[in-house]
Amino acid sequence: MFSDIILFFNDFLNYIKYLIKSTEFLLNSVDKRIGFIIIFIFGTIFGSFINVLIYRLPLEIDFIFKSSFCPKCGNPIKWYHNIPLISYIILKGRCYYCKEKISFQYPIVEFISGLVFGLLYLKFGVTWDFFVLALFYIISLPVIVIDFKYQIIPDELTIGGIVIGLILALLRSLLSFQLDSSISLGIFDSLMAIIVNVLIFVIIYYLSFFIYKKEGLGFGDVKLAATIGSFLGVYPSLVSFFFSFLFGSILGLLIMIINKIINYKKVNLLKKYVFSSGDYLSTISIIYVVKTDIDKKNSVYIAFGPFMILGAWFAIFFTNFILDTFFLTELGF
């Protein structure tokens, strides 16, 4: 009986392995340019889903089963009005029913997602690494936008991300992809990194609370650290935190200087200008300053989630380079 179960499980795993291998083979054998276009289209579809996450998660609307609707008139959106990029152009950026303007954020997110998927494909091919990083991207972008807009990071992204990271790591361990993977983890590395990252961030959380007498980090950041750990592992996480704190403090300093130079009233004027003119394309730093809570003169709140995500993507591409250059060769690893 017990051996039957193991046999069944083994067959099942082999079947998944076979499926993955044949998909890999099919997609990797096509011309890179055609492959790029196919993967780009896939990316825009996931971009569409990312838009749904960005809009619905902060409002706590079901993001899986509830079908798309217009935020203004509430009419359900037909599938042929919901084709990534193309529908936006055909509808001239307006709702089919009430002619309400559709935010430019929608096609932008769809396009960026297509591009990121395409670039990941060019770098990794259709591999396990590609799959893992594509999923990490689907979590990354909503974290950046939602934390920036609302200063929260929904649990669906952090806790959900941890679960996805762990499942991927478990699958990798079970299916033993020794293949060409340089990024994805096994289950023990993933668990280890979650524990280490939570410890680090809980310590920082309470330290900053103790020193500044206020929340220096949100608890969402602690959870996000665990999410990053579950995908990246211990060393890349440390590298990512280094970059996040570096970028974060550069911006913090910039804001302090700007606050010193232009006084509070002027910043408020700037705030009014940017929002009334809809000039969202002005530099990120200015928008960041404007979005930053500057009501209390000396305490600026910077959403840290976007920096953690930025640091994570830096770590994904540069960890090996950094460890090789500065540490491991010295230590003789």
Nearest Cα to Cα of residue 288 among 272, 274, 268, 302 = 302
Q: Is 72 in the site for Zn ion (CB under 5 A)?
A: yes
Q: Which two tokens stand for residue 96?
A: 């089919």
Query: Which is closer to Zn ion, CB of 16 or CB of 98?
Result: 98
Range in contact with Zn ion (rule: CB under 5 A) among 87-95, 124-132, 219-227, 323-331: 87-95
Give start and end residues of each alpha helix (H) in the chain: 2-29, 32-56, 86-90, 105-124, 128-150, 155-175, 187-212, 219-232, 234-261, 264-277, 284-291, 305-322, 329-331
Query: Which is closer to Zn ion, CB of 95 or CB of 168?
Result: 95
Q: Is 70 in the site for Zn ion (CB under 5 A)?
A: yes
What type of residue is 24?
E
Alpha carbons within 13 A on the beta-carbon side of 162: 19
Range in contact with Zn ion (rule: CB under 5 A) among 50-58, 76-84, 100-108, 210-218: 100-108
Distance from C-alpha of 220 to C-alpha of 23, rounded to nearest angstrom:
37
Range in contact with Zn ion (rule: CB under 5 A) among 65-73, 109-117, 151-159, 271-279: 65-73
Q: Is 103 in the site for Zn ion (CB under 5 A)?
A: no
Q: Smallest distance, Å, CB 85 to Zn ion?
A: 19
Torsion of CA 94, 95, 98, 100, to 10 degrees: -50
Q: Which two tokens stand for residue 222?
A: 């602690």
**CA 210, 215, 217, 220 torsion-angle sign:** positive
Of 30, 98, 203, 256, the residue at the interface with Zn ion (CB under 5 A) is 98
Query: Which is closer to Zn ion, CB of 105 or CB of 299?
Result: 105
Q: Is 102 in the site for Zn ion (CB under 5 A)?
A: no
Q: Smallest distance, Å, CB 285 to Zn ion?
A: 34
Q: Is 95 in the site for Zn ion (CB under 5 A)?
A: yes
User: Do 200 and 239 form a contact (C-beta atoms < 8 A)?
Assistant: no
For tokens 């990941």, name the residue.
Answer: 120
Range in contact with Zn ion (rule: CB under 5 A) among 25-33, 55-63, 97-105, 163-171: 97-105
Q: Is 76 in the site for Zn ion (CB under 5 A)?
A: no
Q: Is 71 in the site for Zn ion (CB under 5 A)?
A: no
Q: Smallest distance, Å, CB 91 to Zn ion?
A: 10
Q: Is 78 in the site for Zn ion (CB under 5 A)?
A: no
Of 97, 111, 177, 242, the residue at the interface with Zn ion (CB under 5 A) is 97
Q: Is 310 in the site for Zn ion (CB under 5 A)?
A: no
Number of residues in contact with Zn ion under rule CB under 5 A: 7
What type of residue is 305?
G
The DSSP line for 23-60 is: HHHHHHHS-HHHHHHHHHHHHHHHHHHHHHHHHHTTTT
Report phi then psi at 172, rounded to 5.
-65, -40
Range in contact with Zn ion (rule: CB under 5 A) among 72-80, 151-159, 190-198, 304-312: 72-80
Of 16, 19, 26, 73, the residue at the interface with Zn ion (CB under 5 A) is 73
Footprint of Zn ion (CB under 5 A): 70, 72-73, 95, 97-98, 100
